[in-house]
Structure formats: C-alpha cells, structure tokens
Structure 1
C-alpha cells in the first residue's frame, strides 16, 4: 500500500495538469530549435496559452456553482472573475508573441492570486494551490522564453 498524504495531488489530476504543460514545453523548445519559423511557433505557443488561460478562468465558474458555504458576494465574484482570463487571452491572440506572452503571464499570475483569495474563503483541496503554482510557473517560463526567442 502506498503512503499518500491528504494533500497529495490525485494521480489523474497530476497527469492531466502536467500533461497540459507538454505543449508549452514542446513549443518553447521548438522555437529555440527552429528560429527560422520562430514567429509561427510563437503564435502557436500564444494560442495554446490563451486557450489554457481561458480554461483556468472557467475553474472559478465551476467553483461558484459547486462550492458550498460561499457567500453570495464571493459566489458573484467567482462568476465575474471566471470571465476575465478569457478577456485577457483574446487580445493576446492579436499581439506579437513577446507582448502576448507577457500579457498571458500577467493573466496566469493574476489568476493564481485570485485562486489564493478563493482558497482563503473556501474549502479547496490542499493540493490545489501548490499544483496551480507549479503549473503557472512552468507555463509562464515557457511563454516568456518562447515569446522572447520568437521575436529574434
């Protein structure tokens, strides 16, 4: 029998979360390996980042619907906030890869801080914030490196 702590990330969640980093890593590496097509790969990286930022925003919609014990004000704030990441991600699709990467990273960081605020007010799993921090950090590094080198 395996020793598992209460705050261990469920295996399927870990696979899906870290698996979601593969396109970030793959595209950032491809930008470095294929500088002749850097803008193309940079646009692909930004597009994936925009999709994922929109996805993490939607988590707050789900939290607003499902978390017991939220005040009406906190529930309303979750619904409103859940739309903000998509509104940040969309203009990133129209920008050059470096500016878009900075915009997306700002969105991921802002969303992590919103996650922290929600965790202080609601019963989220103990593994959620550490996982989100790791995923946000790695995605952000890939976006910034990819955005920078795509423009060279």
Structure 2
C-alpha cells in the first residue's frame, strides 16, 4: 500500500496527463506535414518538451515534501533529482532541434526510471500512466527529430 491518498479519482489525473500529449502529437503532425513552417513547429516542440520535463521533475519536489515516512536520504535524493529535469530541458532548448529532441527523450526516459524508485509510495495507476506518457512524448520527439534531420 502506498502512502499517497487523494480525494480525486485517477481519471482526473489521466485527463490532464493524456491531454498534455496533445501539443506533442499536434506539433509532430505539423512538422511532418507542413514543412513550410517546420523550423517554427520544431522549436515549439522542443520548448514544450522542456516545459513538460521541468514540470514532471517538480513532481519529485512535491513527493519529497508530501510523502510521509520517506527516509531522509531518499527525500534528499528526490529533492536533488527534482531540479535536474529543468536543467536538461533548458539545455535542450539551446541545441539544434534534433539534438534537443534527443536530449529531451533521454530526459523523459531517465525521469521514468527515477519515478520507478517511488513505486511503493505512489498510487498504482501512476507509473503505468507515466510510462504511456513517456512513450508517446518520446516517439513524437524522435519522429520529429528524424523529420527535421532528413528534411522530410
């Protein structure tokens, strides 16, 4: 049993989480099918990805503050990790789009690995949802990076 309880149903979190994929999907489609503005769409995608990676990093800050019974060392690790995604996201915006997309994809993957360290403390629906979100966002980033790289 985990130590997180909420009065909100998992479906509320799912609507917001999966809704957050719409810009990833929409911008990827624009990158693939509207080449005239590909530079704009791809910059928007990297910037959105950086914002979302920063957001999910901040979740660990919240977990460190809110989860009861967390060992001090584990809490310190969560706090230290919570700022790293924002740094990864920021650097990704300074790189060429294909590299920025690749860096964000790596950031999302590593963050999912960090989430798994909290498996005993989070609701059972959280990690599967985060896995789905990570896969879709990462596929969008990689597909877009490839399209920009080969000027599809």
**Structure 2 length normalisation: TM-score?**
0.90
SS of the residue aligned with 1:68? coil
Mapped to 1, the partners of 2:79 and 2:52 lie a distance apart of 18
Q: How many residues align?
A: 142
2:65 match: 65
In structure 1, runs of 5+ residues without a counterpart are 1-8
Please list, as runs of the form range in 1=range in 2, the aligned pairs for 1:1-152 lying within 5 A after superposition.
Answer: 10-119=10-119, 122-151=120-149, 152=151
Task: Calculate the aligned-residue CA RMSD, in Å.
Answer: 1.0
Structure 1 residue runs of 4+, over 4 Å off?
A: none
What is the CA-CA distance between 1:118 and the residue it aligns to?
Answer: 2.1
Confirm or deny: 8 A CA contact 1:57 1:111 kept in the other structure. Answer: yes
**Structure 1 length normalisation: TM-score?**
0.90
Mapped to 1, the partners of 2:139 and 2:79 lie a distance apart of 28
In structure 2, runs of 5+ residues without a counterpart are 1-8
Mapped to 1, the partners of 2:93 and 2:122 lie a distance apart of 31
